[in-house]
Amino acid sequence: MRPSHILWDFNGTILDDVTPCIKSINELLIKYGKKPLSGVAEYQKVFGFPIKDYYARIGFDFNEVSFEVLAIEWVELYNKYNDPIKACPHAEEALKYVKSAGIPQLILTASKTEMVYEQLDMMGLRGYFDGVIGLDNIHAAGKTDIALEWAKRANPACPVLIGDTEHDAQTADAIGAECLLVSCGHMPAEKLLPLKPVFDDPLAAVRSLFTPEGQFTP
């Protein structure tokens, strides 16, 4: 069946921000006397949603410093390290591919909506999207609830969600969407493979929806 909508996760799927995320969290860990993460492999192993639980896993004690304070400090560091921002490999090609087929594309994100629009503008990608389904805060609690609210309003016939985390797979299941995952983001392929089909990058994921003749697979 032809997809009615493509829902894109943003961070790690469209926006290539794993390195700035690691730099930002490590600076906070060092500031508060915690052991920094050793690199991408360790980061991908411990990362997850909700972000507050991830912070607890890597050693933050919210009795010492509140999550709300850490969230504000992290965003400040993230904005510093994520400059200039860049798209994930082959992300724009994937967006063009879907747009040429006339399928609506939306961002579904646990990030603050305003920030996502700003980052899309900076990458020149905003024109590919019909909207952003995001949060009104920086606490990244998750996106299942907002996905369910969107699905109730839109009543999509056949949505497809493309993301890079376990949470994307869980969210897709919650709204009855097909889910494709990419291993170029915030979680490694070995954690994603038991959940959903995994691809190297967004373009490979999108192309899997098409037959060699350029039609969507049934």
- Nearest Cα neighbor of 202 from 85, 86, 98, 49 is 98
Same domain, 125 and 162: yes
Whether 192 is in a domain gets the answer: yes
Whether 38 is in a domain gets the answer: yes
> Backbone dihedral region of 36: left (phi > 0), alpha (psi from -120 to 50 degrees) or beta?
beta
Whether 72 is in a domain gets the answer: yes
Whether 136 is in a domain gets the answer: yes
Same domain, 120 and 203: yes
Whether 215 is in a domain gets the answer: no
Same domain, 67 and 135: no
Whether 213 is in a domain gets the answer: no
User: Distance between CA 119 and CA 96 in Å, rounded?
Assistant: 18
Domain region containing 61: 18-81
Q: SS3 for 64?
A: coil
The per-residue pLDDT for 139 is 60
Question: What's the pTM value of the predicted model, to 2 decimals?
Answer: 0.92
The per-residue pLDDT for 138 is 63
Question: Residue 218 corresponds to which tokens in the numbers above?
Answer: 């049934």
Same domain, 12 and 23: no
* Rg of the chain over all Cα atoms, to the nearest angstrom: 17
The per-residue pLDDT for 110 is 86
The per-residue pLDDT for 185 is 95
DSSP code at position 215? P
Same domain, 94 and 57: no
pLDDT single digits (tens) 178-196: 999 999 999 999 999 999 9
Find out whether 168 and 181 touch, Cβ atoms under 8 Å: yes
The per-residue pLDDT for 135 is 83
Same domain, 186 and 130: yes
Same domain, 157 and 200: yes
Q: SS3 for 26?
A: helix
> Backbone dihedral region of 145: left (phi > 0), alpha (psi from -120 to 50 degrees) or beta?
alpha
* Residues lower than pLDDT 70 in the chain: 1, 137-141, 211-218
The per-residue pLDDT for 218 is 45
The per-residue pLDDT for 214 is 46
